[in-house]
């Protein structure tokens, strides 16, 4: 993300700590921990540890970005399309592309950017085949493509799987659930800001949470998150929600008198109107982003 680079992050950085706490992908909320931290420590060039100061409300600057960070994916060829430039240039499955027109392309993001710059031009591409570096001449299409499919990231990096017994899964599930809930609750403070209100989303935003390809783990994690989020929203002290009913019951216990029927009627109407306006506004944001962004 451009906003992340502006405050000091660089491609290839490996996040290590957020405010001194070790970052773990398995916790699921490591991106939020980084965005809300005061200082993030990263490993740069596999040798230097760098502290990056995170400005206040940095998370709001990320709302318009496509992503904060993603995995650094080396360009290994997984398959080649017949009749495309890669086939004609003699590239093979398993080749690693390390440069385009002399510019290093250690990751897929750099690779695609360089191809776009050299679309339709005769260039030299540096590759590594069976451990030996070599150069090949190639001409990307006018759209900056060469006709390859990448090797899956799981075939490049070793996959670490953590197994839990039934008894171990209960406290682990509780830990993940409470972490997600605390992250969601802490992010609610941004809704009251102008920037935060713009980031609200409805059904479209919920749909975008799910990955493009089916994944059981992602499905159940997102389903659990939505359940926790709805449970929290439902206990907010808003009339027409359970939290509103609890609020009036507490008032009745403390004051020892029940609010008038007329007051309860107007409170329910106001609560329902607020929820309908919120629903229209959130889905309106989705529609605006879909049309204009």
Whichever domain contains 83, its CATH number is 2.30.42.10
**Same domain, residue pair 49 and 82:** no
**Same domain, residue pair 56 and 85:** no
Full residue range of the structural domain in which residue 274 is found: 200-292
Q: How many residues belong to the chain?
A: 293
Q: Which pLDDT score is estimated for 146? A: 94
Q: Encode pLDDT of 243-258 as tens digits.
A: 998 999 998 999 888 8
Average pLDDT over residues 25-45: 82
Q: Encode pLDDT of 71-107 as tens digits.
A: 788 999 999 999 899 999 999 999 999 999 999 998 8
Q: Where are the alpha helices (DSSP H) in 16-107?
A: 30-36, 58-61, 85-89
Instruction: Determine, yes or no, domain membership for 207.
Output: yes
Instruction: Determine, yes or no, domain membership for 240.
Output: yes
Measured distance CA(173)–CA(151) in Å, rounded:
33
Q: Which pLDDT score is estimated for 46? A: 83
**Same domain, residue pair 146 and 223:** no
Instruction: Determine, yes or no, domain membership for 265.
Output: yes
Measured over the CA atoms of residue 187, residue 191, residue 196 and residue 199, the dihedral's sign is: positive
Q: Which of 37, 61, 85 is the last residue of a domain?
A: 61
Q: Which pLDDT score is estimated for 215? A: 75
Average pLDDT over residues 189-197: 68
Measured over the CA atoms of residue 93, residue 94, residue 95 and residue 96, the dihedral's sign is: positive
Q: Which of 61, 87, 104 is the last residue of a domain?
A: 61
End-to-end CA distance of the chain: 16
Average pLDDT over residues 247-271: 90
**Same domain, residue pair 22 and 53:** yes
Is residue 11 predicted with pLDDT exceeding 90? no
The bridge status of strand 39-44 relative to strand 14-18 is antiparallel
Instruction: Determine, yes or no, domain membership for 195.
Output: no
**Same domain, residue pair 32 and 90:** no
**Same domain, residue pair 288 and 208:** yes
**Same domain, residue pair 208 and 250:** yes
**Same domain, residue pair 52 and 81:** no
Q: Check if the beta carbon of residue 245 is closer than 8 Å to that of residue 258.
A: no
The total number of structural domains in the chain stands at 3
Average pLDDT over residues 62-76: 73
Q: Which pLDDT score is estimated for 167? A: 93
Instruction: Determine, yes or no, domain membership for 137.
Output: yes
Name the DSSP class of 60. Answer: H
CA distances from 142 to 104, 124, 136, 139 (A): 21, 16, 19, 9
Is residue 59 predicted with pLDDT exceeding 80? no
**Same domain, residue pair 42 and 88:** no
Lowest mean pLDDT among 40-54, 129-143, 149-163, 204-218: 204-218
Q: Which of 21, 36, 61 is the last residue of a domain?
A: 61
The burial of 88, by beta-carbon neighbours within 10 Å (0-12 exposed, 13-18 middle, 19 or more buried), is given as middle
Instruction: Determine, yes or no, domain membership for 192.
Output: no
Instruction: Determine, yes or no, domain membership for 282.
Output: yes
**Same domain, residue pair 51 and 114:** no
Q: pTM of this prediction?
A: 0.61
């Amino acid at each position: 993300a451009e906003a992340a680079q502006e405050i000091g992050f660089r491609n290839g950085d490996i996040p290590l700590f957020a405010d001194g706490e070790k970052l773990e992908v398995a916790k699921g909320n490591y991106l939020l921990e980084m965005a809300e931290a005061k200082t993030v420590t990263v490993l740069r060039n596999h040798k230097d540890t760098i502290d990056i100061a995170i400005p206040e409300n940095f998370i709001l600057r990320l709302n318009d970005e496509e992503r904060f960070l993603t995995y650094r994916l080396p360009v290994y060829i997984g398959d080649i399309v017949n009749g495309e430039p890669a086939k004609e240039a003699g590239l093979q499955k398993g080749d690693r592309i390390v440069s385009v027109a002399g510019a290093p392309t250690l990751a897929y993001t750099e690779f695609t950017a360089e191809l776009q710059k050299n679309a339709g031009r005769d260039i030299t591409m540096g590759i590594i085949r069976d451990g030996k570096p070599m150069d090949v001449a190639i001409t990307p299409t006018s759209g900056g493509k060469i006709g390859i499919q990448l090797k899956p990231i799981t075939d490049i990096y070793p996959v670490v799987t953590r197994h839990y017994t039934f008894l171990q899964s209960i406290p682990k599930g509780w830990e993940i659930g409470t972490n997600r809930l605390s992250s969601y609750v802490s992010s609610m403070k941004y809704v009251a800001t102008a920037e935060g209100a713009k980031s609200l989303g409805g059904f479209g935003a919920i749909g975008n949470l799910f990955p493009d390809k089916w994944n059981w783990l992602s499905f159940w994690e997102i389903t659990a998150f939505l359940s926790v989020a709805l449970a929290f929203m439902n206990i907010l002290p808003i009339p027409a929600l359970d939290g509103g009913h609890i609020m009036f019951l507490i008032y009745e216990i403390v004051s020892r008198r029940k609010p008038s029927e007329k007051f309860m009627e107007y409170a329910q109407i106001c609560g329902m109107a607020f929820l309908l306006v919120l629903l229209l506004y959130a889905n309106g944001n989705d529609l605006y982003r879909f049309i204009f962004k």
